[in-house]
Amino acid sequence: MDLFVFPRWANKTRVLAGALLGGAPLYLTGLIWYGASPKTTDVGYMPEQPVPYSHALHVGELGIDCRYCHNTVENAAFAAIPPTETCMNCHARIHTKSPKLEPVRESWRTDAPIEWKKVHDLPDYVSFDHSAHVTRGVPCSSCHGRVDKMEQVFQQETLSMSWCLDCHRAPENHLREPELVTKMDYKPPKKQVEHGLELRKKYNINPPTDCSTCHR
């Protein structure tokens, strides 16, 4: 007489356990790869700011040029955050009683800076120079998106290493005349790639792709 401790269907659990153990490393690798991807962790990042500043209003409707507030992009590595004085150039006379602008007025009275929260924040081990890009015809919208349509600015692109390398390998997909880099509704005079290739040749633009370009 046969004595069974477990029912016969329990034999199938060995096959199932083997499949699970074999597939677990692949699943975990995929999960970590996707979960840690900039597309998952960074794209869409939209922190609450101390002042509800609308780029859609100021840039889109009023047509304020990016360089009016971020006035270092053409000659420095960093895009300066505008001081309170820049805001008060207009708001000393416009919407002077608006409760939304009280943090700006408080900053003006106390000389304490407004604590804006950075949206596009690269790791410390990455060296990025704004001036090297905008003065060669890389538009603001290529990295920051159409901020003129954003009520509240958010991170649209991954800003990952592969994303940067794609542009360095084929800058013609983005290039335009340097004086038009801040024009949000820009349309190339011909197909973008054709026009970009002409500009690339004209200005001798050949971005490096070696590690030391960004990691110094």
Q: Would you mind telling me the total number of residues written for the chain in this entry?
A: 216
pLDDT at 11: 66
Neighbours of 169 (CB within 10 A): 10
Neighbours of 208 (CB within 10 A): 9
**Cα 183 to Cα 6, 73, 153, 167, 178, distances in angstroms:** 74, 14, 17, 19, 10
Mean pLDDT over residues 25-39, rounded? 52
pLDDT of 36 strictly over 90? no
Mean pLDDT in the chain? 89
Q: Which residue, 103, 121, 108, 16, is CA-closest to 53?
A: 103
pLDDT of 139 strictly over 50? yes
Mean pLDDT over residues 205-216, rounded? 94
**pLDDT category of residue 60 using cuts at 50, 70 and 90:** very high
pLDDT at 28: 54
Q: What is the pTM of this model?
A: 0.80
pLDDT at 82: 93
**pLDDT category of residue 18 using cuts at 50, 70 and 90:** low
**pLDDT category of residue 42 using cuts at 50, 70 and 90:** confident
